[in-house]
Amino acid sequence: MNRALKWFDYITINIYWFGLTTRSQVLSPLIIPLLVQRFVGEAAKGAYVGNIRLWALMVAVLAQALFGMLSDQSHSKFGRRRPFIVAGTVGELIIFFLIGFTAGMEGMSGYWFLFLLYTLSMLSSNAAHAATQALIPDLVPDEKRGTFSGIKALLELPVPLIFVSFVIGKMVSAGNIWGALIILIIVLFTCMVITLWVPETAQTTPKEKRDWQPILRLLAMTAFFTVIILALGAAVKGIMLFGIAAEWQNVKITVMVVGFLGMVIAIGIGVWVSVAISIGKQIKEHKSYTWWVVNRLFFLTGSTNLASFMVFFLQERFPNLQGEKAAGPAATITMFVGIFILLSALPSGWLSDRFGKKPLILVSALLATAGTILVLTSPTLSLMNVGGSLLGAGIGFFYASNWALGTEIVPKEQAGRFLGISNLAGAGAGAVGAYIGGPIADQIGYTPLMIIYTILFMVSLLALTRIKTKKNG
């Protein structure tokens, strides 16, 4: 970059997060679950949602790390990152049009066509995602990263959540999936155009010969992480079905414990071995980075899947909210989450710069736990909205402070690669929580599954204690 940062750079560097989250909050919690429910029916909807999310999100893990590395090495005259943002956006716009046509399909043919499109969407969206998340490490000095990360958290969560609740959620609840997709297309295209004003210049370092070893490592990393989730998902499902058939006493509690342990093992072993495969012997120098990914994955497994299964949870809890009728109340809870992310995200960036990132992450886990407990125990939607407010405050604190901590830990010269690998947490959260959790909910209900996600917030603090920063050694 050949100039000092301006006030509008806070927007141009971060605006694409609004598009990415609007996309994820429309597809994952609303359109995908409702279409899957329409295609496969009630009995196995959780398992089929888990299946589609596992494979799509494993593509996301590979794609984000791969495109992050490729953008690190890019010598395009338009900059290292912007060409990937443009290419990813164009791919997404085409896919959204095709998803609209699946709404008129039926049965397993509709499910498998949706499966293909959602997987391709993960490929294109993560090309743009990988490039976007490297902009702050590329362009922002250390002393301003907390504030920039606060703006990122603001545009990444509360603003799109509120927008989805007021605009797109109402369309989906009314059955207007095409209208929701058209709005989504307009949002993503607009964010791409604004991002083109990022003050990025072409990389001037000499071009190096392509090293294929890191790419092979990424393939091996993704394959291993997928196998771990598949194996533990099969083990949890097998134990659960055996226990139910054998009529174990307290079978629900037993299944919850087994499911919780399955997720913990998948996260712990999955991250450490996957990072070791990806970066090799460098893992000895980046233990704090690996613990940061573990901390992030525990927290996001809870928060991501609470949103993904909220429609089904509300359908189970309130008999009058069947089918698409649950989309409106789910979007309203999401709105309250978004409002309190909005209220907490900006001050959390400033607070993390002043008092440190780790204390803010601790507070975020406590708030998220309290908020989720209130959502699960509330007899009315109104009280659930209060719980969503506490949850939103916790998520807002987490996103700003945790991301600022990550940008401090990763090596600057390989920011795209390391932050891309960290998508083990971003995409892995949905894969671990949905694939292992979906069959559990089909058998014993969505409330026990939500309890497992709540406990993961507190477990994330164990990983936090292992992270060492430049300031605390």
Q: What is the pLDDT of residues 74-85, one digit of tens each?
A: 878 888 899 999
Q: Which of 41, 25, 58, 57 is nearest to 442 (CA)?
A: 41
What is the model's pTM? Answer: 0.79
Contact (CB, 8 A) for 145 and 408: yes
Q: What is the pLDDT of residues 384-426, one digit of tens each?
A: 999 999 999 998 889 878 878 887 888 777 776 787 777 677 7
Instruction: Give domain status of residue 472, yes or no.
Output: no
Residue 469 to residue 473: CA distance in whole angstroms: 5
Contact (CB, 8 A) for 39 and 107: yes
Instruction: Give domain status of residue 181, yes or no.
Output: yes
Residue 13 has pLDDT above 70, yes or no: yes
Tell me, what's the pLDDT at 416? 67
Instruction: Give domain status of residue 169, yes or no.
Output: yes
Residue 180 has pLDDT above 90, yes or no: yes
Instruction: Give domain status of residue 422, yes or no.
Output: yes
Contact (CB, 8 A) for 273 and 438: no
CA 348 distance to own-chain centroid: 20
Percentage of the chain with pLDDT > 70? 96
Instruction: Give domain status of residue 284, yes or no.
Output: yes
Cα→Cα distances 425→58, 106, 278, 293, 353, Å: 11, 33, 14, 6, 23
User: Look-up: residue for tokens 């390391």?
Assistant: 418
Residue 473 has pLDDT above 60, yes or no: no
Instruction: Give domain status of residue 246, yes or no.
Output: yes
Q: What is the pLDDT of residues 135-168, one digit of tens each?
A: 888 888 877 877 887 788 778 877 888 888 888 9
The mean pLDDT of 36-49, rounded to a whole number, is 91
Q: Which of 332, 336, 440 is nearest to 392 (CA)?
A: 336
Q: What is the extent of the structural domain holding 131? A: 9-200+213-464
Residue 229 to residue 53: CA distance in whole angstroms: 12
How many independent structural domains does the chain possess?
1
Q: What is the pLDDT of residues 118-140, one digit of tens each?
A: 999 999 999 999 899 888 888 88
Q: Which residues, including other chains, have CB under 8 Å from residue 197's CB and lie 6 or more apart?
A: 8, 12
Residue 109 has pLDDT above 60, yes or no: yes
3-state secondary structure the chain: CCCCCCCCHHHHCCCHHHHHHHHHHHHHHHHHHHHHHHHHCCCCHHHHHHHHHHHHHHHHHHHHHHHHHHHHCCCCCCCCCHHHHHHHHHHHHHHHHHHHHHCCCCHHHHHHHHHHHHHHHHHHHHHHHHHHCCHHHHHCCHHHHHHHHHHHHHHHCHHHHHHHHHHHHHHHHCCCHHHHHHHHHHHHHHHHHHHCCCCCCCCCCCCCCCCCHHHHHHHHHHHHHHHHHHHHHHHHHHHHHHHHHCCCCCHHHHHHHHHHHHHHHHHHHHHHHHHHHHHHHHHHHCHHHHHHHHHHHHHHHHHHHHHHCHHHHHHHHCCCCCHHHHHHHHHHHHHHHHHHHHHHHHHHHHHHHHHCHHHHHHHHHHHHHHHHHHHHHCCCHHHHHHHHHHHHHHHHHHHHHHHHHHHHHCCHHHHHHHHHHCHHHHHHHHHHHHHHHHHHHHHHCHHHHHHHHHHHHHHHHHHHCCCCCCCCC
Cα 80-85-89 angle, rounded to 5 deg? 160
Report the mean per-residue pLDDT for the chain.
88
Contact (CB, 8 A) for 165 and 334: yes
Residue 231 has pLDDT above 90, yes or no: yes
Q: How confident is the model at residue 169 (pLDDT cuts 50, 70, 90)?
A: confident
Instruction: Give domain status of residue 206, yes or no.
Output: no
Q: What CATH number does the domain containing 452 carry?
A: 1.20.1250.20
Residue 287 has pLDDT above 60, yes or no: yes
Instruction: Give domain status of residue 208, yes or no.
Output: no
Q: Please tell me which of 205-209, 274-278, 298-302, 409-413 the model is most confident about, judged by mean pLDDT.
A: 298-302
CA atoms within a 13 Å half-sphere pointing along the CA-CB vector of 150: 19
Q: Which two tokens stand for residue 437?
A: 């959790």
Q: Which of 286, 291, 288, 329 is nearest to 310 (CA)?
A: 329
Q: Which of 272, 308, 275, 5 is nearest to 138 (CA)?
A: 5
